[in-house]
Amino acid sequence: MHLEPFELHRPTSVEEAAGLARTHAGRCDFLAGGTDLLPNYKMHINLRPHLISLDRVGEMTHREGGRVGAMTRLAELERDAAFARDYPGVAEAARQVATPLVRASATVGGNLLVETRCFFFNQSQFWRASLGFCLKADGDRCHVVPQKAVCYATFSGDLAPALMVVGAEVEVAGPDGRRRFPVGALYDAAGDGIRRVTLAPGEVVVAVHLPAEARGRPSGYAKLRARPSFDFPELGVAVALSRDGDRLAALRVATGGLEPHPREFDAITARYVGEPLSPERLDALAAEVQAAVRPVHNTAYPPDYRKRMTGVFVRRTVERLWSGGTAA
């Protein structure tokens, strides 16, 4: 496996980066830490001849209060005790991404936009060619659900669900200026799974904004994976809640590692707010979220197991936060 040559651009402002993306539309990628993009390039997946590095864009490396520049390294979040006190679930998710070495380079923006994964896709060019490639790259058929022209590759970023449950927003910049919207709206849940995000061509993620009102709220992230020191999530469950005496005052749950995009369950959790959280209610909540998720067979663990573990992880994480437990 080797890297094909590409032209590297190193803009120093967001506007310059967006301008370069417009000039090289369809023939470029943004490069952040490169921990996802470059391994994919080495496997000759969706190669582009132009890479726009974001490492010199000062605005994107800057972090202040609840504003986290997209180029913030995960290792920096992990080391920041004040951040972990304010947003414990996000810090807990960041700590569980990959390995310390990867986290030293990996960024927040890159984690939100990490490529979806599937065992027919994360393979060398030689391996993929032996099956005639697949819809997501170079081919015309899906090996997981062949009867549909949709890609079911799994969204495997750890930060997104944790950011979603605290109500974080992303700030993006592009040819038409800047806009801000909830993290969940970054993902194209109604799309074909290949175009996985809602960014317009040339748009770059500048920062993530964490709301002040969520500061200090109990939140947590639980991750299922084969090797806890290393692997992508087979399932990620993020929860944020607050309590008013023996009643739930607020509750949000989101999942990742199961479907082509991270998912929130506000319609389900809203029914539990304002009520005491008895063991029976907790079981019912876990069962409802478990019933709603639809993993397919394209990662290491079978979908039935990941589905059942969703219920287990929802129950455990809500219980931990409800009883005042801190991050693992």
Which residues contribute to the site for ligand FAD (CB under 6 A)?
A: 29-37, 39, 54, 70, 74, 97-98, 102, 105-107, 109-111, 113-114, 156-158, 204-205, 231-232
Distance in Å, CB of 149 to ligand SF4, minimum: 9
List contacts with ligand SF4 (CB under 6 A). Answer: 118, 120-121, 134-136, 142-144, 151-153, 298
Residue showing tokens 């639980």: 222
Which is closer to ligand SF4, CB of 30 or CB of 121? 121
Place of tokens 């969520």: 214
- All residues at 6 or more sequence positions from 20 whose CB lies less than 8 Å from its CB, including other chains: 9, 11, 28, 50, 52
Nearer to ligand SF4, 84 or 135 (CB): 135
Q: Which does 153 bind (CB under 5 to 8 A by kind): ligand SF4, ligand FAD, none?
A: ligand SF4
Residue 306 beta carbon to ligand FAD: minimum distance, rounded to whole angstroms = 15
Closest listed residue to residue 219, CA positions, set 39, 36, 97, 92: 92
Q: Which does 164 bind (CB under 5 to 8 A by kind): ligand FAD, ligand SF4, none?
A: none
DSSP-assigned letters across all residues of 85-131? HHSHHHHHHHHTSS-HHHHHH-BHHHHHTPPPB-TTTSS-HHHHHHT
Rounded CA gap, 243 and 302, in Å?
35
Q: Which does 152 bind (CB under 5 to 8 A by kind): ligand FAD, ligand SF4, none?
A: ligand SF4
Q: How far apart are CA 127 and CA 130, in angstroms?
A: 5
With CB under 5 to 8 Å by kind, the binding choice for 217 among ligand FAD, ligand SF4, none is: none
User: Which CB sits closer to ligand SF4, 42 or 243?
Assistant: 42
Closest distance to ligand FAD from the beta carbon of 161 (Å): 10
What beta strand segments (E) does 176-246 contain?
Answer: 177-182, 204-209, 219-224, 235-244
CB of 204 to ligand SF4, least distance (A): 25
Helix 303-322 / helix 279-292 crossing angle, nearest 10 deg: 150
| Cβ proximity to ligand FAD, 138 vs 231, nearer residue | 231
Minimum CB distance to ligand SF4 smaller for 87 or for 121? 121
| Min CB(156)–ligand FAD separation in Å | 6
Task: Tell me the closest approach of the beta carbon of residue 239 to ligand SF4, in angstroms.
Answer: 28
Q: 84 contacts which partner out of ligand FAD, ligand SF4, none, CB within 5 to 8 A by kind?
A: none
113 makes contact, choosing from ligand FAD, ligand SF4, none, with CB < 5 to 8 Å by partner type, with ligand FAD
Classify residue 150 by its DSSP letter. Answer: -
Position 217, amino acid: R
Alpha helices by DSSP H, the chain: 14-23, 37-42, 58-61, 74-79, 81-86, 88-95, 100-105, 108-112, 125-130, 159-165, 266-269, 279-292, 303-322
Residue 208 carries which side chain, given as an amino acid letter? V
* For ligand FAD, the closer CB: 39 or 191: 39
